[in-house]
Amino acid sequence: MIETIGVVGSGTMGIGIAQIAAQNKHQVVVHDHSENQLSKAKEGLDKILRRLVEKKRISDSERKEIINRILFTSNMGDLWPCGLVIEAIVENLKIKHEVFKKLEDIVSENCILASNTSSLSIASIGAALNNAERIIGIHFFNPAPLMPLVEIIPSIQTSKETSELSKSLITDWGKTVVLCKDTPGFIVNRVARPFYGEALRIYEEGLADFATIDWALKELGGFKMGPFTLMDYIGNDVNFAVTESVFQAFFYDPRFKPSFTQKRYAEAGFYGRKSGRGYYHYENETLNNEANKDEKLGQSILDRILCLLINEAVDAVFMGVATPKDVDLAMTKGVNYPKGLLQWGDEIGLEVVLGRLQDLFDFYGEDRYRPNPLLRSMVKEKKKFYN
């Protein structure tokens, strides 16, 4: 039974993780090297908890208990009683190594050391430890208290105990846990790439504008937001950086090739909502185009992006990254897809998906459209992912 949870880094992710742990009755130690950031984090959490009281989600005495369970400290030594420490500092391997080396001298031998990294391999982080059996990836989504999904990523060094304890703890916190191999982008950030990449490609080919592609995915596909609205929401700088890092990490597999359009938008400072302009204008919305609501065009856009997404989901299963169930859970709970992609593939008919991919592959002759071998064999054997 782990009583005290440590969080290193009190930024966006760290403070959210600390809130979850404290709401689940753990003592929590939040460490950050910046005093200024620590007081900002404490103030921010206090505001969030007060809002939860206003909305009657928690009582005022619960709010006080939650905040009193958390120690905010710039002294790393205060992490000594922790049974699990989750690191959520800047995404830089060298700095993470320094932190994990120091941590190993502070905590007990049994303490699990986890990273919330989005893009570094867990194996590379664990390499800094004397006992790397205790390293694990525990990847929350933003905002951590609200997003149900957590990807748990054991690396090749991780012991079974570390993996099982982490999984049961995070499940007890009420999260939907998926287990995932230590591969670039884990599940969500890998499988979701075509949602952005193929939308950008369709735009670059001049087949449709941003508004039309967004309309097709939202209205015909049932996605909460179209890809361009979502990229503007995430920030083109952030989304482009993730795409680029996944592309590099996959040894430049053309399936993950970033788009010049997005690069230029990021370079120009057209980040999206936060900068007032992205693919859309947010300060003067009259400048935005109206969608072309031609059903045939819309359906062809949706079919193309969806087939590539399904192909990517199939690849994650084929390469042993995760089980079909976990791949579907990851996309519905991590990025709110209206349906699991493999279930969607079953419903459309895997032979139909394969046929569409094969047509694209024949037409373009590009690797990004190559149908996955598992998809081919399942169609041949008339199999489905679910019965």
Q: Nearest residue to ligand NAD, using CB?
A: 11
Is 26 assigned a catalytic role? no
Judge contact between 332 and 340, C-beta under 8 A. Answer: yes
Q: Among the options 10, 118, 121, 239, which is catalytic?
A: 118
DSSP character string of 104-139: HHHS-TT-EEEE--SSS-HHHHHTT-SSGGGEEEEE
- For 325, residues 6+ apart whose C-beta sits below 8 A from its C-beta are none
Is 189 assigned a catalytic role? yes
Is 267 assigned a catalytic role? no
Q: For the stretch 322-350, what's the b/e string if a residue is b when 16 or more beta carbons lie within 10 angstroms of its beta carbon?
A: bebebbbbbbbbbbebebbbbbbbbeeeb
Footprint (CB under 6 A) of ligand NAD, residues 129-168: 140, 142
* CA distance linking residue 216 with residue 347, whole number of Å: 19
Judge contact between 327 and 191, C-beta under 8 A. Answer: yes
Binding ligand NAD (rule: CB under 6 A), the pick from 2, 24, 27, 37 is: 37
**Residue 292 Cα distances to 203, 212, 216, angstroms:** 13, 5, 9
Binding ligand NAD (rule: CB under 6 A), the pick from 7, 8, 79, 84 is: 8
* CA distance linking residue 384 with residue 346, whole number of Å: 6
Min dist. Cβ of residue 133 to ligand NAD (A): 22
Is 119 assigned a catalytic role? no
Binding ligand NAD (rule: CB under 6 A), the pick from 32, 232, 326, 346 is: 32
Four-residue CA torsion sign, 8, 14, 18, 21: negative
Min dist. Cβ of residue 255 to ligand NAD (A): 22
Q: Which stretch binds ligand NAD (CB under 6 A): 32-40, 49-57, 184-192, 257-265?
A: 32-40
Q: Does 88 bind ligand NAD (CB under 6 A)?
A: yes
Measured from the CB atom, is 114 or 378 closer to ligand NAD?
114
Q: Collapse the DSSP code of 178 into the 3-class scheme (helix H, G, I; strand E, B; otherwise coil) and give the result.
A: strand
Site string for ligand NAD, 98-117 (x = CB under 6 A): -x----------------xx
Q: Does 91 bind ligand NAD (CB under 6 A)?
A: yes
Binding ligand NAD (rule: CB under 6 A), the pick from 6, 14, 227, 324 is: 14
Q: Does 13 bind ligand NAD (CB under 6 A)?
A: yes
Min dist. Cβ of residue 246 to ligand NAD (A): 13
Paired tokens of 194: 């075509």
Provide the annotated active-site residues.
Answer: 118, 139, 151, 189
Where do contacts with ligand NAD occur on this chain (CB under 6 A)? 8-14, 32-34, 37, 88-91, 95, 99, 116-118, 140, 142
